[in-house]
Amino acid sequence: MLNKRILIKNLLTYNDENTFYDKKVAIDLISNAAKSKFLKHICALSNSNPYNNSYLVIGIEDRTNKIKGISFIDDSVIQNLVSAYLYNPSIIKFENIYFPNLPKEKVVGLLTVRPTIKRTCFKKNIGKISSGICYYRKGSNSLPIDNDFSIDTNNKDIVSEVEKISKISIKILLDDIFNFYEMWDKEYNPQYVVFKEQYVVCWAGYRTDFDKKSILSEVDIRIINEGIRIFYSAVQWVDVSVTESDFSVTEYVNLGFDYNYKLYPFEKTTIKFADNGKYDIKIELIFNPPKFDKNIIERLYARAKEIENKYRNGLTLHSDEDYSSGEGLVNCFLICYFNGIKEARKDLINSINYLDGAAAERRSDCMRILRKVENNETNGS
C-alpha cells in the first residue's frame, strides 16, 4: 500500500523536476491565466508519460525543497477544470497530504496523472492557450509539442522504483495514529475505525448543538495508511456516520440573515471500502438553496448595497447594521443571488476589494458554495 507522504518525500529527495515530476509552491484556481498554466503542466505530464504515473506536488518551495504547505483543496474543483478544458485527459487524482510538521490547517497537494496512450490537448481557449494545442515535458519545462517531442522510456522503471520504496510500514502506520491522537485535545474526541482489516480512518471534531442539531465543527478526517486528509475545516459544520464498509461525511452550510440562520445540508462525501483492498470516494452535492419571499429579498438586497457603499467609502456602521457587517454582507449577497437577483453574484465577487480578516474568510466560503453550485448545474446540464 502506497503512503503518499513517503512518496512525496522520495520525489523531493531523489529527483529534480523532470519529465514525470513537477512541483509548485502554490496554485491559483481563480484567474484564467493561472488556470491555463496549471492545465498546461497536467497536459504535458500526461503526454510525456504514457506508460507510468506522473506527479505534480504543490506546496513546495522551489529552490530549497522546503515543505510550505497549502490550504485544503477539493478534488472536484480540479476534476471539473480538467474535464472542461482538456481533450483526452488522463485520469487524475488530487489528494491533500498531511505532514506532522505543518500547521493543522495546511497540507501538501499531490496530483497523480495516470498513464494514457491517447494524446491530451486543449479543447477550448483559456488564458493565452488556444484550442488544439498539446504540451509535453522537456526536462523541467512544459512546451508545445513540436518535432523534438519524444517519450523518455526510462520513466517507467524510475517511477516504479520510487513507488516501490514508498510503501507503508506498520511502524509508520502506528506512529501516524499516535500523532493524530496527540494533535487533538480530548474535547475533540479523536478516534479511529478499521475497514476491511486494511484501512485505518482517524477523525476528530468538536461536538456542539446548533439549530437544534448535535453536530461537529473543526473537523479533521484522514485515511492514515495513505497519509491522505479527506476533509478538514475550521468553519464548516459536519455530521459523520460509519457502517461496516462506509465512512460518510455530510457537510452543512450556515445561511440566513438578520438573526435567523439555519444549517442546510450541502455536500455528502462517502468513502466505500471494498473487500478487494480498494476504496472509492463519492462526492454528491445535496444542496437546495433557501428560498424567501421576493419582497423580503428585494429589501435585503437594498440594505446590503447600502452597507457595501459604506464599506467602500470607509464610513462607520450603525449598531443596527451589524447583521451585515463583513461576514453577514457576503452571506446576504449569496442568498440574494440564489433568490433571483443576478447582480448579487458580481457584488459577492467584488467584495474581495474591501473585506479582510474574518469577513474575507467568510467570503471565501461563500465563493466556494457558489462555485460548487454553478459547477454542478453546468455538469448536470
Cβ distance 219 to 232 under 8 Å? Answer: yes
The whole-model pTM stands at 0.80
CA-closest candidate to residue 58, choices 100, 99, 88, 90: 99
Class of domain 4-164: alpha beta
- What digits encode the pLDDT tens for the residues 70-125? 999 888 889 989 999 999 999 999 999 999 889 988 999 999 999 999 999 999 99
Q: How many residues does the chain have?
A: 381
Q: What are the phi and psi torsion angles at 237 (to 5°)?
A: -100, 135
- Residue 258: predicted pLDDT: 78
Listed by start position, the domains of the chain span 4-164, 170-285, 294-380
pLDDT tens for the chain, 381 residues: list them: 789 999 999 999 877 888 999 999 999 888 899 999 999 999 999 999 999 999 999 999 988 899 999 999 888 889 989 999 999 999 999 999 999 889 988 999 999 999 999 999 999 999 999 999 999 998 889 999 988 788 888 899 999 999 999 988 889 899 999 999 999 999 999 999 999 999 999 999 999 887 778 899 889 999 999 999 998 887 778 999 999 999 999 999 988 887 778 899 999 999 999 998 889 989 899 999 999 999 999 999 998 998 888 888 776 655 454 444 556 889 999 999 999 999 999 999 998 888 887 778 888 889 989 988 988 777 664
The three three-digit cell numbers of residue 175, written as one number: 506512529
Instruction: Give the whole-angstrom CA distance, residue 269 versus residue 194.
Output: 18
Q: Percent of the chain having pLDDT more than 70?
A: 95
Say how far apart CA 328 and CA 258 lie, in whole Å.
8
Provide the CA 230 distance to its chain's centre, in angstroms.
10
Query: Burial of 346 by CB count in 10 Å (0-12 exposed, 13-18 middle, 19+ buried)?
Result: exposed
Convert 244-262 into a string of H (helix), E (strand) and C (coil). Answer: CCEEEEEEEEEEEECCEEE
**Rounded Cα gap, residues 54 and 51, in angstroms:** 10
Mean pLDDT of the chain: 89
